[in-house]
């Protein structure tokens, strides 16, 4: 099980993620605000019990402009590769929004929540769905930045092989995107997927 990163360890995680992704770190003067970016990916290796109600995928959901843009860019990547576009799932969206906000409020950046009952992405999906009676694989991508920037978020996720694998996984059928812009200007994005 992964341990939660504190906000104070995000700069180190950022530097490591950027170096591993082959991204050059910017050099800024001490007077300029330091931009921070970090990403994380998750894919469950198990199926939960039962079958999720198919009506969930048919329930309309209203996405924010940023959430729509993330979903649009994911589907563009999939279409370029001849993959089926993902349907926006309101349950995944609710779980993703809750997680993005929670990460800010509790001061961590990780797939594993310190909140009992919401520990993993599968737990969060089950709580949002209202049942553990479903059968699917759940994936999750996380993006953090010290400023709001959808394009930077998408590029950061695509530059990481594990995040890109979630975006273009052929077995996924649905996506939910939850964006939280904190009062401090920090930008948290959770993308959730299921098969």
Among 133, 124, 123, 137, residue whose Cα is nearest residue 43:
137
Could you read off the pLDDT of 43-56 as tens digits, one per residue? 665 444 444 444 34
- The alpha helices in the chain, defined as continuous H runs, are 10-20, 65-80, 90-106, 121-129, 150-158, 161-167
Q: For the sheet containing 87-88, what is the strand order?
A: 37-43, 138-145, 187-194, 174-181, 87-88
List, for residues 1-37, the tens digit of each pLDDT value: 333 433 333 333 333 333 334 433 333 333 344 567 7
Q: What is the pTM of this model?
A: 0.74
């Amino acid at each position: 099980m992964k341990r939660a990163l504190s906000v104070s360890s995000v700069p180190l995680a950022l530097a490591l993620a950027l170096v591993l992704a082959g991204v050059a770190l910017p050099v800024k003067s001490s007077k300029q605000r330091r931009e921070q970016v970090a990403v994380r990916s998750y894919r469950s290796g198990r199926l939960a019990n039962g079958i999720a109600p198919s009506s969930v995928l048919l329930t309309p959901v209203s996405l924010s402009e940023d959430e729509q843009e993330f979903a649009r860019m994911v589907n563009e990547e999939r279409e370029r590769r001849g993959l089926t576009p993902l349907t926006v799932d309101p349950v995944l969206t609710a779980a993703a929004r809750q997680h993005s906000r929670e990460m800010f409020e509790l001061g961590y950046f990780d797939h594993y929540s310190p909140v009992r009952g919401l520990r993993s992405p599968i737990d969060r999906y089950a709580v949002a769905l209202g049942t553990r009676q479903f059968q699917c694989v759940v994936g999750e991508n996380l993006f953090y930045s010290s400023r709001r920037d959808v394009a930077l978020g998408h590029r950061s996720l695509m530059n990481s092989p594990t995040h890109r694998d979630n975006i273009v996984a052929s077995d996924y059928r649905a996506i939910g995107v939850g964006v939280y812009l904190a009062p401090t200007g920090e930008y948290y994005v959770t993308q959730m997927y299921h098969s």
